[in-house]
Every structure is written in C-alpha cells, then in structure tokens.
Amino acid sequence: MAEYGVGILGAGWVAGEYIKAFATNPHTEVRAIASRTKEKAQAKAAEAGVDCTVFDNAEQLLNQKEIDIVAIATPPDCHREQAVAAAQAGKHVLLEKAMATTVEDARAIRDAISDAGVKSVVSMVLRWNPLFEIIKVQLAQGAIGSVFLGEVDYFHGIGPWYKQFAWNVKKEVGVSSLLSAGCHAVDAVRWFMGGEIAEVSQYSTHGKGEDFTEYEYAPTSCTILRFADGRIGKVTSCIECVQPYVFHINLVGSQGSIRNNQVYSKQAFPGQTGWATVPTILPDSGDVTHHPFTHEVNHFLECIMEGRESHCNVADAFKTHEVCFAADQSGIEGRPVALPLS
C-alpha cells in the first residue's frame, strides 16, 4: 500500500489530471473523491480508472483517517471553506488556482495552513513547464545579467467551448481576468524576477465579442508592476481574444534578453549575431491535459517526504494573488495601489 492516501475534492476537468498524477506517483494512492453528488464522483473515478470511496460532501472526505493529502479542484469560491477545513483536519493541501476570490479569503487560507503546520502547493502549474525550468537555469547562470524589465502576457479565449466557462464568467467566482487565468502570468513575473512588488496600476476593458458577452467583469486587463528596487514588469491578460493560445515571455537584462525559448546573451554566446533557439516544450496550450501536473505532484511529494516547503506553497502563492487583487483594485479605483494590501 502507498504511504500517502489522497482525497480529491471536485470531479471536473482538472480533477481528472490530479487523479492521473497521483496515480502515477509510487508513494500515493487516490482513496476518495468528493463532489456535489456521489454519482458525479463515481463517474470521475470510473473515467480515471480508480477504485475508491466516493462522497457527496467535503466534510465526509476530510474525516477519513486514511486521507493524508487533499487536492482541492473545485471552483475558487469554495476554496476558503475547504482549504481551511483540510488544514485543520491535518491534511497536506494541493490547491487549484485561483486560491480564493477575495484577499481576505486567501489570507485566511494562508494563515490556516501556517497554523496547522501542514505542507501545501498552489497550482501555479506552469512553474514545472520545461521552458520555465530552462529560463530559471539561464537566469541563475547570469546569461542575461540582471533583469530590469519583465513582460509576461496571457492570451486565451475562454468561451462557451471551454469547460470552466459556465462559472468563470460569473463575477463572484471568476472575479477578474487576472484571478481566473492571468494569475499564471503574474506568477511568472514574480518567479523569474524575484524581489517584492511595491505598486501596481491597471486598466481593463471588455471587447464584447459575440462569444464573450456573458462575462460579468472586464475579461481584458493590462497591469504595470513596480518592484521595490525600481525594476518594472507588465502583464496583459486577455480571456476574450479570438486567436490561438499565447503565453508570451520577454525578459530584458543588463547582459541580454530572453524571449520565450530564444536567448540573446553576450555572456553565454560571445559574438552572437541573432537569437539562439532552445527546442523545448512550451506553455502553448490552454488544455489542462498539456499542463505538467505530474511534475507538480512529484515535487509536492518530495516536499512532504523531506519535510521542506515548496517554492509554490500557499504563503508564496498568496503574494501572487495579492498582486492580482491589488491590480484589480487599481483598475476599479483608477489609481495606483501599493503593496502589501492592508
């Protein structure tokens, strides 16, 4: 029997990817799934090919002693109640983004995890994409010197054909373009540039294309980030675009630049006359089956087994989300907003 029993909260699209990831890890076994109905939970178990107990509420799953890890793959407005309860039950928590729909709820999750002393990961899953890993190595080696400008843009038309569309369009669940999707881009700027973001300023709009009229908030935003040390960043998040998925990375440093999987480096390649291209897997799809959940889960298990914190734990992910909340506040109030939020 595997050392760690896993419970899955939610029976949607992304829940299936977590089930696959935990099923392939030799240290874990999916032992329970909870959804709004037992029928949905059972259908997800059958689809994933796992034999486990099913429940129609989270409380029953969290009461199971054989559950050590809980993966929360429900809509964001459910996260505070479920994540806090999981932490208080002594379960390690893998939490799907967005981690919450308000900064108060995100802070409550952060504090509950800290108080309980359990391990956590928030699914900013692109941190485990091969391109992200390559860029981190290039930066650590000083290939482009000190990055003083970082641009990461998220373009993904989330219309009626996309499985999260029905709840994503609702203000109380999807919240904003950044919280529903563009948080990956905000997190990438933080991950690549390091340091603390001191101030944000945002503009947002609604293109009102025929497939996107149901959005209760502006699905397009552009946010400028100022770091405490004076460096700057920019994030565009557009979930109403009519185009293929694009996750654009542009990092400008004192000794060169990185543009997606291309690098121009005076340090690494003296005499370079053009961009050098690194063939690798890119973050170029909004299909969750393309995302590296298996690598994320394996990383989480290593953290649990070695007693160390993840680089993407709830405390770190709170900072990404706090930037998103501050940016959206800026867009609403028409002024720059300082961080941290009070």
Mark whether 104 and 190 lie in a shared domain: no
Do both 224 and 103 map to the same domain? no
- The rounded distance, in Å, linking the Cα atoms of 8 and 290 is 20
pLDDT of residue 1: 67
Claim to verify: residue 140 and residue 116 sit in the same structural domain: no
Q: How many domains does the chain have?
A: 2
Q: Cα(225)–Cα(233) distance, rounded to whole angstroms?
A: 5
* CATH code for position 245: 3.30.360.10
Residues 118 and 178 in one domain: no
Q: What is the pLDDT of residue 267?
A: 86
The CA-atom distances, in angstroms, between 137 and each of 9, 121, 143, 282 are: 35, 22, 9, 16
Q: Do 150 and 279 have their domain in common?
A: yes
44: tokens are 């997800």
**Segment 47-103, tens digit of pLDDT:** 999 999 999 999 999 999 999 999 999 999 999 999 999 999 999 999 999 999 999
Do both 84 and 111 map to the same domain?
A: yes
Residues 101 and 202 in one domain: no
Tokens of 121: 């990961």
Q: Give yes or no: residues 87 and 147 share one domain.
A: no
Question: Is there a single domain that holds both residue 189 and residue 324?
Answer: yes
Residue 266, pLDDT score: 87
CATH classification of the domain holding 59: 3.40.50.720
Determine the structural domain holding residue 178 and report its residue range: 126-286+320-338
60 lies in the same domain as 164:
no
Sign of the alpha-carbon dihedral angle for 289, 295, 301, 307 = negative
Task: Report how far residue 312's alpha carbon sits from residue 303's, in angstroms, rounded to the nearest whole number.
Answer: 11
* Same domain assignment for residues 239 and 328: yes
User: Which parts of the chain have pLDDT scores under 70?
Assistant: 1
What's the order of all strands across the beta sheet hosting 92-95? 53-55, 28-34, 4-9, 69-72, 92-95, 120-122
Q: Based on the domain organization, do 8 and 105 belong to the same domain?
A: yes
